[in-house]
Amino acid sequence: MKHNIVIIGAGPSGIEAAHCLAVSGEHVTVFEKMEDPLENLRNKAFLFPDFTSASELTETFRTKLQHPYITYRGGTSITDMERMDGRWVLTTDRGEKIDTDDVILATGYRPFDASRKEELGYGIYNGVVTSLDMEKMLLRGRVVNSIGDLPSRVAFLQCVGSRDSKVGNNYCSKVCCITAAKQAVEVKKLLPEAEVFIFYMDLRMWGQGFEEIYRSSQQDYGIRYIRGRISEAAGTFDGKVQIKAEDTLTGLPMKMSTDLLVLMVGMEPSEGTRMLAGRCGICGEYGFARSENRHLYDNVTSREGLYLCGSCKRPMCLEDVISDARSAAMELLKSR
Amino acid sequence: METISNNLHPTPPAHQRTLSASADQPEGLRPAFPAHQRYWNEYVKEIADDRYFYERSCIRQTFFPGSEAAFLKILRDELGKDIRDEVNQHTCTGIGYHSDIVPLETTMTIVARLFSLMTEAGYKNYVPSCVTSFGVFSEIVHKWEEQPALLEKTRELLFKATGREFEIPENIAHPSDIIYKFRNELKDKMKYRLVNRYTGRPLKVVDHIGCHYAKIFPEKGIGKAEFPHVLAGMVESWGGEVVDYPERRHCCGFGFRQYIIQENRGYSIANSKKKFESMEPYEPDFIVSNCPGCTMFLDKWQYVIAEMEHKTYDKEGYGIPSLTYEEMAGLLLGYDPWTLGLQLHQVQVEHLLDKIGIEYDPDDKYRAADGSLLPSPEKPNNLQV
C-alpha cells in the first residue's frame, strides 16, 4: 500500500506533527504500538509550570488525531524500515509492508526502570514508588502509603536514572526537577499536614515559571529541599521506608523514615526509538535518534525522507515536544 | 567449571505488611515484582566444582575453633571433594594491609607466596577462609590484571626472596560461595531444618555479609553488594526465613581502624548497636555471618552492651546467637554442637538448639578432647546464660 507520509508514534509529538501536516493538506498515517495513543500523557494529572490539567491536553490531542486526513493505526508496531528505490518501506508486526515517501520518527522515550537502582528498593518495598506511580495517585486524587493509609511524610529523590554513570546515563532528563517540585506541591495540597522533602544534587529550574514554583513550594507549602543523594532505602518493621543520605550543605549524614519514597525517574529512549534509529543508522548517544545538525537541522536526518521530532532525540518537556513537532512538519513540507 | 546463577526465591518476611496484586492494593501503587524479575537475580559467579586449595584465617581458629574443621569435613565427607589444607600457609596480611601497617608491595609478595604454595601443590582453585583475605586476593589479582608491571615486579620480588614461582588461581571463591553452590546437595543430607519445632514456623535469621565479600568487587559476590544472596540462599534452602531489616547492609563495626585502635572502639560497638536495634523488632532467632570479625563482634558486643546498659535484644535476656555459616551447616547436618565449638560463643546457643530440636549433652559442653572437664567460664552479670 502506498502512503505519502508515515508517522511512527502517537504521543504528543507524533499527533502534533500529523495534525500540522493534515491541516496543510497532506494525508498522514500514524502508527502506534499501543491501541490507545498518548500513553505517557494519559497517566499524568497536572502539567508544570501552570498546573494545567493533563486530561484537557489529552482531549485536545485526541481531537487533533481525528482530522479526516489522518489515518490512525493503533496496536501496530513498526518492526523494520529500509530505504528502497527512493522510498521508505516499513514492516509492521503483522508482516504488512508499508511503502511511503517520508517518515517522521516520533517514537519518544520510556521512563527509566527504577528497579535497576536496586539500592533504592523499588519493586522490593511497597513504600518506594516512582514519579509515574505518584502521578497516577495524584490523577486519582488520593495519595496513600504502602498499606493504604494517608502518608505523614513523603520524600522525593531526584536524578534516578539520570546523571548517573552507574546505570550508564550521564545526561540530565531535564523535567524531573520541576516535576518533583510540582508533585510535592500537589501532595501538600492534598495532605497539608504531611512533611515533604526533596533530595537533590542541584536544582535545574531552567524554564519560565519553574523558579516561581520552586520558591512557592518552600514559602507557601513548606516543602524542604535537602542537597544530597539517598544512598540506600530499606523497609522498616512498620511498613515505612528508611533512607540514608548525606546533607551536603551541612556536611552531615542523615537517616530518616518516610511513608513514601518517590523516585524521580528519568527518560530513556523507547525500545522503538532504539531499534528504528539503529536500523536507519542514525543512532546517537545513549540510544536516542541523531539529527543532522543540532542547531540548524534538528528535525532532519542523514537519511533522505526521514525526520525526527520529540523525545526520541533527547529528553524534552511537553512544550518543547509540541514546538519540535511543528518544526518537523515544516521541515517536511519544505522538502515538497 | 560451572557457572551458577542465583535462583532467588526469597520468602517475604512474615512481619512485612506487603500487599499482593489483589483488590487490597491501594490505587496507584504497584506490588513488588516477582523474585525472578529482580535484576540481581541475573548476577552470576563462577565457582569451581572441585580440587580446592584452602587457606585458613588468622583469627577464626581462635574465635570459632570448629568452623574451619567443619568446612573441611563438609567438603570431604559430605560432598566428596578434594580440598587441600596446606600446612605451610601464613597470613595474607589483610588486617595489617587495611590498617596501613603493611605496604602494598609486601602484601602482593606475600599473596604471591601463598599462590606459589597452591601452584606447588598442583591446585588452581583458591579458597580463602576469611572474607578479608578473599577481598585482598581479589584486589591484588585485579591490580595485576590492570597493571601487568606490578605482577612482574611481584614475581621478581618473590623469586629473589624465596626462589619460588607462582600461577594466578583460575578461580577464587570464598568458602561460603562453595557451601551456597552445594546447598541443595547438603540439604538432602541434613538431619535438621531451620524450623522452630515448637511452632512449626521457619526460624527468622539475620544474614550479615562481610564488607570485603562484595562491597569491594560487587560482581565477585553472589547477588552483588546490595542484596547478597550467599547466606540468604543457604537459609532459605534449609527451611529458614531471612530478616530484611533496615540496617541489613550496615557494617558490623569490626572495621580494622575502629577496633584495632583502642580509642576508636566506641565506633565499633556503636555500629553493632545500631544493627541490633534495627533487627530487634523482628525477633530474629539467630545471626549468621561469613566474616570472622562480623560473627565475633555481633556476638561479643551483645555481652558488652548487656553489661554496660542492661540491654539485650531478645525477649528473654539471653541475646541473639551469632553463628558462622559452617556452624549453621554443621548443626543441621547433625554435628555435635560442642565439637563445632559453640560453647566458645559469648551468647549461648542452647535455646537455639532446643528450638531446632538438636540433640546435645549439656555435660559435654566444657569437656576436653581427652574426656577431662575444663573449668566453666565466669558468668556475666546481665546476659543470661
Question: Which domains does chain A carry?
Answer: 2-108+270-334 (3.50.50.60), 114-267 (3.50.50.60)
- Quick check: B190 pLDDT over 70? yes
Query: What tens digit of pLDDT does each residue of B295-313 get?
Result: 999 999 999 999 999 999 9
Number of Cβ atoms within 10 Å of the Cβ of B344:
14
User: Of all residues in chain B, what percent carry a pLDDT higher than 90?
Assistant: 78
Query: What tens digit of pLDDT does each residue of A278-324 get?
Result: 999 999 999 999 999 999 999 999 999 999 999 999 999 999 999 99
Which residue of chain A comes nearest to B35, CA vs CA? Answer: A124
A133–B32 CB contact, under 8 Å: no
Beta bridge partners of A7: A30, A104
DSSP for B129-193, written as a single string: SSHHHHHHHHHHHHHHHH-HHHHHHHHHHHHHHHS------SEE--HHHHHHHTHHHHHHH-S--
Name the residue ranges covered by the structural domains of chain B.
47-172, 185-364
- Please give the average per-residue pLDDT across B15-39, as a whole number: 41
Instruction: Name the amino acid, one letter, at B85.
Output: D
Q: Which strands make up the sheet holding A252-258, listed edge to edge?
A: A230-235, A241-247, A252-258
- Please give the average per-residue pLDDT across B142-153, as a whole number: 97
* Rg of chain A over all Cα atoms, to the nearest angstrom: 21
B38–A116 CB contact, under 8 Å: no
Fold of B185-364: Rossmann fold (3.40.50)
A43 touches chain B (CB under 8 A): no
Which pLDDT value is given to residue A166? Answer: 87
Confidence of residue B28 (pLDDT cuts 50, 70, 90): very low
Which residues have CB under 8 Å from A70's CB, separation 6+? Answer: A18, A19, A22, A28, A29, A30, A64
Whether omega before A49 lies within 30 degrees of 0, making that bond cis, reads yes
Which residue of chain A comes nearest to B33, CA vs CA? Answer: A123
Residues of chain A in contact with residue B16, where contact means CB-CB under 8 angstroms, are: 235, 239
A235–B15 CB contact, under 8 Å: no
- Please give the average per-residue pLDDT across A62-76, as a whole number: 97
Query: How many angstroms separate the Cα of B348 from the Cα of each of A299, B320, B383, B385?
Result: 73, 9, 9, 6
C-alpha to C-alpha distance for A207 and B159, rounded to whole angstroms: 66
- Only one residue has cell 512533611, namely A195
C-alpha to C-alpha distance for A197 and A156, rounded to whole angstroms: 6
Return the C-alpha cell found at A281: 543508522
Confidence of residue A270 (pLDDT cuts 50, 70, 90): very high
Q: ipTM strictly over 0.95?
A: no
Instruction: Name the amino acid, one letter, at B110.
Output: I
Confidence of residue A211 (pLDDT cuts 50, 70, 90): very high
Query: What tens digit of pLDDT does each residue of A175-192 get?
Result: 999 999 999 999 999 999
Q: What is the mean pLDDT of chain B?
A: 89
A158 touches chain B (CB under 8 A): no
B226–A242 CB contact, under 8 Å: no
Confidence of residue B29 (pLDDT cuts 50, 70, 90): very low
A234–B245 CB contact, under 8 Å: yes
C-alpha to C-alpha distance for A156 and A140, rounded to whole angstroms: 19
Q: Are B168 and B144 spatial neighbours (Cβ–Cβ below 8 Å)? A: yes
Confidence of residue B1 (pLDDT cuts 50, 70, 90): very low
Which residues have CB under 8 Å from A202's CB, separation 6+? Answer: A227
Residues 222-241 of A with CB under 8 A from B: 232, 234-237, 239
Residues of chain A in contact with residue B21, where contact means CB-CB under 8 angstroms, are: none
- Quick check: A10 pLDDT over 80? yes
C-alpha to C-alpha distance for A65 and B364, rounded to whole angstroms: 84
Confidence of residue B23 (pLDDT cuts 50, 70, 90): very low
Q: How many degrees, rounded to 5, is the angle at CA B253 between CA B248 and CA B256?
A: 135
Which residue of chain A comes nearest to B244, CA vs CA? Answer: A235
Q: Are B21 and B29 spatial neighbours (Cβ–Cβ below 8 Å)? A: no
A242 touches chain B (CB under 8 A): yes
Which pLDDT value is given to residue B79? Answer: 98
Residues of chain A in contact with residue B29, where contact means CB-CB under 8 angstroms, are: 126, 129, 133, 137, 144, 146
Which residue of chain B comes nearest to A117, CA vs CA? Answer: B39
- Quick check: B90 pLDDT over 70? yes
The arrangement of secondary structure in B47-172, i.e. its CATH architecture, is: Up-down Bundle (1.20)
Query: What tens digit of pLDDT does each residue of A103-132 get?
Result: 999 999 999 999 999 899 999 999 999 999
Q: Are A118 and A126 spatial neighbours (Cβ–Cβ below 8 Å)? A: no
Q: What is the mean pLDDT of chain A?
A: 95
Q: Out of A199-213, B250-264, B269-283, pick the least confident.
A: B250-264
pTM attached to this predicted model: 0.84
Instruction: Name the amino acid, one letter, at B170.
Output: E
B29–A129 CB contact, under 8 Å: yes
Burial of A175 (0-12, 13-18, 19+ CB in 10 A): buried
Pick B20 or A155 by higher pLDDT.
A155
Q: Which of B16, B17, B26 sits opposite A144 (nearest CB)?
A: B26
Q: What are phi and psi of B70, to 5 degrees?
A: -65, -40
